[in-house]
Amino acid sequence: RWIYGGVIGTTGMAMPILPGEGPCIRCLFPETPPPGSLPTCDTVGVLNTAPSTVASIQVTEAIKLLVGKGISKHRLLTLDLWTGSYRFIAVQKDKNCPCCGQGRFDFLEAKEVSWTTTLCGRNSVQISPSRATVLSLDDLSRRLAQAGKVSYNGLLLQFQIGDHELVIFPNGRTIVKGTTDESVAKNLYSKYLGN
């Protein structure tokens, strides 16, 4: 048993996860979104009060769980601190859920693995995503423009951030220039594309 919480920008969400009694995270989000399709903390930021607000809600739900009274079962709380809106969304367990319905733990078993390779003599690392994807480079270019210099020619997107440049292709393949360290490249990929 645990309490899920997430924050991005001015928004957040929280929900108790009660294995065997209700929906799991995969019931809510069956598939991971394609890289670059959602904002990240580095592209839109996080309002400084949002993490503490969501954490307070998580702690309150944990206390309810410990004392056995008033837990918010089968509902996800979403909030936007900027607009002051709070809303509960009823969620149901998906009997066909790969995780809680079928007992598969694909993300823990890491069946989907991206691969990287250092490009000889180019001070660059190429990252290929773990699954086939189609990125909206147009949308991604608008989001990344808030964090660094972007050049988009309709075929590929170039994103300059500090000493590094990410060349992003529509299939998610990315060349990270300015490093031969695969962990640095993966970190930049995750930071700005979200996966």
Choose the catalytic residue: 27, 41, 97, 100: 41
CA 119 to chain centre: 27
Q: What is the 3-state secondary structure (H, E, C) of 105-161?
A: CHHHHCCCCCEEEEECCCCEEEEECCCCCCCCHHHHHHHHCCCCEEEECCCCEEEEE
CA 114 to chain centre: 16
Contact assessment for residue 98 and residue 87, using Cβ atoms and an 8 Å cutoff: no
Contact assessment for residue 60 and residue 69, using Cβ atoms and an 8 Å cutoff: no
CA-to-CA distance for 3 and 176, rounded, in angstroms? Answer: 36
Active site residue 27: no
Backbone φ and ψ of 66, nearest 5°: -65, -40
SS3 191: helix
What are the residue numbers of the active site? Answer: 41
